[in-house]
Amino acid sequence: MLERRQFLGLLAAAAAATAVGGCASEVGAPPGTTVGATPGTPPPPFDPSRGYWMQGGFAPVAEEVTLTDLPVRGALPSTLSGLYVRNGSNPKVGDSPHWFLGDGMVHGVQFEGGRPVWYRNRWVRTPFVEEGLGGLDAPPGGARNQSNVSIGWHGGRLLTMGEVGWPYELSPEDLSTVGAHDFAGKLTTAMTAHPKIDPATGELHFFGYGFVPPFLTYHVADASGALVHSSEIPIQASTMIHDFAITDRDVVFWDLPVLFDLQAGIQMVTGATGAMPYRWTPANGARLGVMPLGGTGEQIRWVEIDPCYVFHGTNAFRDGDDVVLDVCRLEHAFTETEDLGVSTPHRWRIDTSTMAFTDEPRGDLPMDLPAIDRRVAGRPYRHGWYVEVDEAAAQPLELAGIRWMDHDSGETAAWRPDAGVHANEVVFVPEDDGEGEGWLLTYAYDANRGASDLVVLDATDVAAGPVGAVELPVRVPYGFHGTWVPA
Ligand SMILES: [Fe+2]
């Protein structure tokens, strides 16, 4: 990385003379500073009578745009060539009953040699968007889902995923929708928004959960994207399973007590209520299951744990007989008064020789939306990057800065942006061979100018703040998960 840092220094010096629309001298600025917020009009104060997801940085945008000649501040790495693209919830009709229930909209920036070529935002052309329905009209499934959670690149396909149906294939050229993708008719369940690519084989491991049996099914696609293995995993009820983990030899599921409520689901799709049809049900118990990578449901072994909820795992790996699993743990979720709570990092260990379980809290800093260097997915690793939440905000959920965590030592460091600037999930883009040697890309909403930047951080020095940014003239609403498609 030393060579790269020296190169960066030269690049920054050059950019200082040429930066457009901002102050290039902010490169290498001390922690707590922001790359170039242009003074503007702050958004109106939070209105508690309306959904938080309809306001501030969450509020949906009304138009699809294609923008070129994008201003750059600071120094973007000249090695950056590819597509950064992120999915999120953006109701086409302008309103939705929950943050999770808008139509999928992707926001992408194409780079060539460190130069931003274009920005595009596009709705995923699901039936709900095409038919102008403005939301679900029946329980989602198959092609009828909003495909709004994540986007991934595998087997030469760019796929958006919405957890409760099939993925959609998009063109990486212009983010237009190719169509629903059911793996040549082989995918008979939904597909999680958090599949895992095994870096050793290129295989895509994923699962689908169902509102009716089968409640959980494990799938493997080979490196070319062909679905080659599916196996039902027996669980007792329809629980919301947002993510899972792999190691170099295991698959790890968490079956936690957020249960699908059929009656509430019917009420939601008929418009009788806007509540998400999931209920915190600790009486259902909580358990972790471990099975061989590529294995079958009969091989899974479970261990009971205390009720809690986990949307996202950071990574998992083998340590001898132990499966080590880093998660963002919530005390509960979808209770009567609070659907999304605050999560903190925990390290879980399952001794596969005895199925003994240990839970090690790793601090009380609220953070989620983890990212890793995906070259070490399922392997021993050190570096994780998270979005911090602002617990002091007036609204129920507000995003803040980016925190790095060394998972060996527990040490952390953060980029704390200026007031009014809110970062989203980062995506790691490799630069050098070592784990974590590369860049972090994310959209950061700058309320001071009512628009968003695509900021780039040095993954090895998050606290230094962004090395550069693409200043978009539009706002990118807070979203969920993104990916990098190398050129
Ligand atoms: Fe997620």
- Mean pLDDT in residue range 426-437: 98
Q: Contact at 8 Å (CB) between 37 and 22?
A: no
- Look at residue 251 in the predicted model and tell me its pLDDT: 98
Distance (angstroms) between ligand 1 centre and the Cα of 83 equals: 20
CA–CA distance, 7 with 13 (Å, rounded to integer): 10
Distance (angstroms) between ligand 1 centre and the Cα of 257 equals: 17
Q: Contact at 8 Å (CB) between 483 and 153?
A: yes
Instruction: Compare 17 and 52 and report the one with higher pLDDT.
Output: 52
Sorting pLDDT into bands at 50, 70 and 90, what band is 41? low
Distance (angstroms) between ligand 1 centre and the Cα of 370 equals: 9
Distance (angstroms) between ligand 1 centre and the Cα of 351 equals: 27
Q: Contact at 8 Å (CB) between 213 and 158?
A: no
- Mean pLDDT in residue range 439-465: 97
Phi, psi of 4 (to 5 degrees): -65, -40
Distance (angstroms) between ligand 1 centre and the Cα of 38 equals: 31
- What tens digit of pLDDT does each residue of 163-181 get? 999 999 999 999 999 999 9
Distance (angstroms) between ligand 1 centre and the Cα of 210 equals: 17
Tell me the β-bridge partners of 193. Answer: none
Three-state DSSP class for 471?
strand
Distance (angstroms) between ligand 1 centre and the Cα of 353 equals: 31
pTM for this model (two decimals)? 0.91
Phi, psi of 53 (to 5 degrees): -75, -5
Distance (angstroms) between ligand 1 centre and the Cα of 319 equals: 26
Phi, psi of 402 (to 5 degrees): -115, 130
- What tens digit of pLDDT does each residue of 314-345 get? 999 999 999 999 999 999 999 888 778 889 99
Distance (angstroms) between ligand 1 centre and the Cα of 224 equals: 24
Exposed/middle/buried for residue 201 (C-beta within 10 Å: 0-12, 13-18, 19+): middle
Closest listed residue to residue 12, CA positions, set 466, 487, 440, 473: 466
User: In the chain, pLDDT over 70 holds for what percent of residues?
Assistant: 90
- What tens digit of pLDDT does each residue of 348-379 get? 999 999 999 999 999 999 999 999 999 999 99
Q: Contact at 8 Å (CB) between 75 and 8?
A: yes
- Look at residue 132 in the predicted model and tell me its pLDDT: 81
User: In the chain, pLDDT over 90 holds for what percent of residues?
Assistant: 78
DSSP-derived pairing of the beta strands 482-486 and 82-89: antiparallel
Phi, psi of 119 (to 5 degrees): -120, 135
Q: Is the dihedral of CA 141, 147, 153, 155 positive or negative?
A: positive
- What tens digit of pLDDT does each residue of 197-254 get? 999 999 999 999 999 999 999 999 999 999 999 999 999 999 999 999 999 999 999 9
Distance (angstroms) between ligand 1 centre and the Cα of 271 equals: 25
DSSP-derived pairing of the beta strands 286-292 and 250-255: antiparallel
Distance (angstroms) between ligand 1 centre and the Cα of 450 equals: 26
Mean pLDDT value across the chain: 90
DSSP-derived pairing of the beta strands 412-415 and 356-361: unpaired
Of 14-18, 25-29, 110-114, which gets the smallest average pLDDT? 25-29
Distance (angstroms) between ligand 1 centre and the Cα of 426 equals: 13
